[in-house]
Structure 1
Amino acid sequence: MPSVETNGSNGDSSYKFFNVIDGKPRPSKDHHQVIDPRTEEPLWDAPIATPQDLDDAVAAATRAFKTWKNSTTAERQKAVHEVAEVILKNVDILAEVQMRETGKSKTMSKFDVERAAWHFEYYRNVTLEDELQYEDDTVQIYSTHQPIGILGAISPWNFPMILSVIKVVSALATGNCVIIKPSPFTPYSLLKFCELAQSVLPPGVFQVLNGGAELGEQMTLHPGIHHISFTGTIAVGQRILQNCTKTLKKVILELAGNNACIVCEDVDLAKVVPLVASGALFHAGQVCVASKRIYVHESLYDRFLDMLVEESKKYVVDDDENSPAFSPLSNKVNYDRAVGIVEDCKKNGYKIVTGGDVKPTGKGYWITPTIVSKPPEDSLIVREEQFAPIVPVLSWTSEADVIARANLDNAGLGASVYTPDLARARKIAAQLESGTVWINQFERPHHAGFFGGWKLSGYGGELGKEGLLHYSQIKTLQIAK
């Protein structure tokens, strides 16, 4: 069970947090505290890992990998299942900690933790098999899959459990060891998860180190780490890619998604508007695949806009921690950035049809759902990913034109298309330069579907059976007959 104290700062109890190295909690001389996005009060002490901690973790992972890489598929699947059980047994602890660090509601945070367990259970039954590639009278050629080594995983703050677990389970299921660094904005849930997971995993197979950009930089340059998986901004991803070339590390990057949502003229607005609103405003727009630019056919634009404004009223600024869908922005850095986008819209005279209020309550990093009608295509709100409940709604009449406008270089992560004509939807989807296209549903990755960005939105990918290929080395066996 987790270490708990009763003299905490924010909340009924105060948990103790440690880096985890070689199966054991390791205290630190230096700490930092995260600010609760709802109350703007400090949370618990989070340990800051040192360069020596990183070296020790790499040494422990190197020792563990000698055995773990030779584990059978059945042994790894058993371990993956046991980690899922650990998550579910501790769902209340993990959900409370994540709720405090992210500003999510109790309902949303608990769902995130439960979904993290689903990812482990999915890979309990999904694996890569040897595959016969070619055969004739003289030779058989097989493709086989082996682990890469030690993964350095660098995680984001918007969904700390789900997006971290994707990296952890993909590594473990393929026989790799993993050292994960949570975002310094949301370290607590991942530190606690790793601590709890030690009860079912060999020492050194799964470790966690908390720190900021400096620690991440050290991980990407460390010669003992063979593979990096990162979720975050384009600028940091480019830096990581450059660093990894120095030791030829394998790399997975999930980066910005300035995702386009295309609404055709033949939709049923009563069905579609609530879906689009959820795609844009869930978790205050802090979703990598959220609808960041909504393109609506001109013939129904006015009706769509009126209905979207009404629908947005359901996403209210609410101090009730049980309110499921909406939340404050998770940290002051993202809040300040979002405020800058709102101020840019006001300065340039763009038509804000609802919202525009920043800091509507006395505490918390709240921004009310803000809808901007027909800003210029080269405006900041259209050109850059908002990662906030600030949504531009634009119009279109020509399919070729809207597809061209949708295909920005930073919009290669996801897109959505709404039309009851599935042949038309697939035709449009085929022309969208995006790793995933959702048709007649709002954007949410599924654990069974490969997920990776195109262009500036990513490099490599994760999830689904295909995702395991990015955590494996392919070895070819040529067998003479």
Structure 2
Amino acid sequence: MINIKTMLIDGMPLIGTGEPFSVINPATEDIICQCNMASTEQLDQAVAAAKRAYSTWRQTPDAERKRLLHEIADHLEQHADELASIIVQEQGKPLALAQIEVGAAVGWTRYTAELDIPEQVFENSDTRYTTAHRKPLGVVASITPWNWPLMIAIWHIMPALRAGNTVVSKPSGLTPLNTLRLVQIINEVLPKGVVNVVLGEADIGNAISRHIDINKVIFTGSTPTGQRILSNSANTLKRLTLELGGNDAAIVLPDTDINQVAESIFNTAFLNMGQTCAAIKRLYVHESQYEEMGKALADLASQQVVGNGLNPATTFGPVQNARQYRLVSELVEDARRNGGHIICGGEASSEPGYFYPPTIVSNVSKGVRLVDEEQFGPVLPLISYLEIDDAVRMANSCEYGLGGSVWGSDLELAETVARQLECGTVWINKHAEVLPHIPFGGCKLSGVGVEFGVEGLLEYTQLQVINRHK
């Protein structure tokens, strides 16, 4: 059992007064912690605390905010082993990947600390001096998913703090423990009320998106939930950053050396057991290389050691929760019924835990659920094409537009194809690479706004123009 179950509001630990819930280890199906949801009254307390703290925090000198973010990074490094262990137990990923997540969280915090908010001069003439300034928004609410519980919380919280805002964080009820511990660590450094955390699911999420004293919501998760947040926030016109679903397509051009790219494609399709928004979810391969690619990916799948993430030998952990586990199984069975060929995998484990092996499915196309829907799990459909224009058309025939990629040795051709893809980021000979200095966001039903870099930081600010006449 993990004894981290208290929320933190205005620097004080509190047990939720709402419904109790259990946190499950997906590798064992054992209960690792019992928690309670927050009440709406406790959410109001958290927002009020953040609002009070904002009046002081917004006045904190820029250099001091930078220093404090670096101090938070120091504390995260000191607790790295603890944080990684919690991630494995509540999320399921192998320990080595959890350690990478913690290390990335530290690095992202340090990078964000050093970002500077630019000021712009629009006009400096004999009659007018007009400048642009950026002011913090106020109280920012962060709603995070269960796939990268520490990393995404860092992505939300650190730029909010850097810009001078205060925060109310609500993690997924499936993986709340890491965020609870993160906010405890942050509160060892920052004044009380600057960062608060509440627990809850739809009721609390709805209350957050409607709350009159919350000035911005940043959400990473499903498109239906993002649409509900957008609708709920209409009356208050609060700022939103929504990083939503993705059904990322990768196109392998006919000149590609399959042996050279197969491992990178496998790793970015099955990153975090496929539970990554910007993982490859559909792979389009020219018919001349279709069988070769399927075999190469199946060979890589057979090398994976599926098991409990705390076992050092494990390279491939469980699906995080029962609902997602059932969805993955349903999509594979639907593909099988519709003529899909299961090249490898395709059978859920009979042992305790939500284990599903890396699965490659061929002989599928648009109209099959595995191609049309975001599987968000360890299954990859392979779709053949004859002409590159057909691959582009099929890749774009999707309501999502988060990421995409093009693979091939002719980089000019790859760039030409990349520019035709309808998505926020296109990688060439790479996929699912997000970096702290490069903006990232989707189009279509994949989201609103961007994260990362200066552009992402500015989403936590209000533009103010000062027009001074001489």
Q: TM-score range by the shorter chain?
A: over 0.9
Pick aligned residue for 2:149 from 148, 160, 163: 160
1:348 matched to which residue of 2?
A: 338
1:15 matched to which residue of 2?
A: 3
User: Matches of 1:236 and 1:291 in 2, distance apart?
Assistant: 22
Question: 1:375, CA displacement in angstroms?
Answer: 0.5
Question: 1:270, CA displacement in angstroms?
Answer: 1.7
2:388 matched to which residue of 1?
A: 399
1:116 matched to which residue of 2?
A: 105
State yes or no: 1:299 paired with 2:303: no
Pick aligned residue for 1:233 from 200, 207, 222: 222
Which runs of 5 or more residues in structure 2 are unaligned?
Answer: none
User: Matches of 2:273 and 2:151 in 1, distance apart?
Assistant: 17
Question: 1:202, CA displacement in angstroms?
Answer: 0.9
1:99 matched to which residue of 2?
A: 88
User: Matches of 2:204 and 2:151 in 1, distance apart?
Assistant: 22
Question: 1:339, CA displacement in angstroms?
Answer: 1.3
- Which amino acid in structure 2 is aligned with residue 338 of structure 1? V
In the alignment, is the contact (CA less than 8 A) between 1:81 and 1:120 conserved in 2? yes
- Which amino acid in structure 1 is aligned with residue 258 of structure 2? L
Question: 1:109, CA displacement in angstroms?
Answer: 1.1
Question: 1:314, CA displacement in angstroms?
Answer: 2.2
Question: 1:325, CA displacement in angstroms?
Answer: 4.0
In the alignment, is the contact (CA less than 8 A) between 1:256 and 1:410 conserved in 2? no
In the alignment, is the contact (CA less than 8 A) between 2:309 and 2:317 conserved in 1? no
* 1:380-428 alpha-carbon deviations (Å, 9 max, x no partner): 0110111011111011232222111111343311111111222222211
User: Matches of 1:193 and 1:216 in 2, distance apart?
Assistant: 20
- Which amino acid in structure 2 is aligned with residue 272 of structure 1? V
1:331 matched to which residue of 2?
A: 321
User: Matches of 1:442 and 1:129 in 2, distance apart?
Assistant: 30
1:264 matched to which residue of 2?
A: 253
- Which amino acid in structure 2 is aligned with residue 23 of structure 1? G
Pick aligned residue for 2:127 from 118, 122, 138: 138
> Measured at CA, do residues 324 and 408 of structure 1 come closer, stay the same or move farther in structure 2, by a change above 3 Å?
farther
1:87 matched to which residue of 2?
A: 76
In the alignment, is the contact (CA less than 8 A) between 1:228 and 1:249 conserved in 2? yes
Secondary structure (helix, strand or coil) at the match of 1:79 reads helix
- Which amino acid in structure 2 is aligned with residue 138 of structure 1? T
In the alignment, is the contact (CA less than 8 A) between 1:278 and 1:442 conserved in 2? no
Question: 1:62, CA displacement in angstroms?
Answer: 0.9
In the alignment, is the contact (CA less than 8 A) between 2:308 and 2:314 conserved in 1? no
Secondary structure (helix, strand or coil) at the match of 2:237 reads coil
Secondary structure (helix, strand or coil) at the match of 2:436 reads coil
User: What is the TM-score of this pair, normalised by structure 1?
Assistant: 0.95
Question: 1:468, CA displacement in angstroms?
Answer: 0.7
Q: Calculate percent identity across the aligned residue pairs.
A: 37
Secondary structure (helix, strand or coil) at the match of 1:123 reads helix
1:177 matched to which residue of 2?
A: 166
Q: Following superposition of structure 1 onto structure 2, how do residues 42-441 of structure 1 map, counting pairs within 5 Å?
A: 42-319=31-308, 321=310, 322-323=312-313, 325-358=315-348, 360-441=349-430
User: Matches of 1:460 and 1:99 in 2, distance apart?
Assistant: 30
Bigger mean CA offset, 286-295 vs 264-273: 264-273
Secondary structure (helix, strand or coil) at the match of 2:226 reads helix
2:467 matched to which residue of 1?
A: 478
> Measured at CA, do residues 303 and 255 of structure 1 come closer, stay the same or move farther in structure 2, by a change above 3 Å?
same
Bigger mean CA offset, 163-172 vs 372-381: 372-381
* 1:223-264 alpha-carbon deviations (Å, 9 max, x no partner): 111110111111111110001111111011111110001111
- Which amino acid in structure 2 is aligned with residue 282 of structure 1? L
> Measured at CA, do residues 323 and 446 of structure 1 come closer, stay the same or move farther in structure 2, by a change above 3 Å?
farther
User: Matches of 1:54 and 1:344 in 2, distance apart?
Assistant: 42
* 1:46-89 alpha-carbon deviations (Å, 9 max, x no partner): 23211111111111111100011122221111111111111111
Bigger mean CA offset, 310-319 vs 183-192: 310-319
Bigger mean CA offset, 165-174 vs 46-55: 46-55
User: Matches of 2:60 and 2:80 in 1, distance apart?
Assistant: 28
In the alignment, is the contact (CA less than 8 A) between 1:32 and 1:48 conserved in 2? yes
Question: 1:204, CA displacement in angstroms?
Answer: 0.8
User: Matches of 1:45 and 1:121 in 2, distance apart?
Assistant: 33
User: Matches of 1:239 and 1:23 in 2, distance apart?
Assistant: 30
User: Matches of 2:52 and 2:411 in 1, distance apart?
Assistant: 53
In the alignment, is the contact (CA less than 8 A) between 2:27 and 2:307 conserved in 1? no
* 1:412-447 alpha-carbon deviations (Å, 9 max, x no partner): 111111112222222111111111111112322111
User: Matches of 1:264 and 1:325 in 2, distance apart?
Assistant: 29
- Which amino acid in structure 2 is aligned with residue 340 of structure 1? E
User: Matches of 1:296 and 1:196 in 2, distance apart?
Assistant: 47
Secondary structure (helix, strand or coil) at the match of 1:299 reads coil
1:3 matched to which residue of 2?
A: none
Secondary structure (helix, strand or coil) at the match of 1:391 reads strand
- Which amino acid in structure 2 is aligned with residue 52 of structure 1? E
User: Matches of 2:187 and 2:288 in 1, distance apart?
Assistant: 58
Which runs of 5 or more residues in structure 1 are unaligned?
Answer: 1-7, 9-13
Consecutive aligned runs of 4 or more in structure 1 exceeding 6 Å deviation:
none
Bigger mean CA offset, 287-296 vs 368-377: 368-377
User: Matches of 1:370 and 1:237 in 2, distance apart?
Assistant: 29
User: Matches of 2:451 and 2:188 in 1, distance apart?
Assistant: 26
User: Matches of 1:15 and 1:126 in 2, distance apart?
Assistant: 36
Secondary structure (helix, strand or coil) at the match of 1:290 reads coil
In the alignment, is the contact (CA less than 8 A) between 1:452 and 1:458 conserved in 2? yes
In the alignment, is the contact (CA less than 8 A) between 1:435 and 1:454 conserved in 2? yes
Bigger mean CA offset, 300-309 vs 202-211: 300-309
In the alignment, is the contact (CA less than 8 A) between 2:306 and 2:314 conserved in 1? no
In the alignment, is the contact (CA less than 8 A) between 1:37 and 1:364 conserved in 2? yes
Secondary structure (helix, strand or coil) at the match of 2:113 reads coil
Question: 1:26, CA displacement in angstroms?
Answer: 1.3
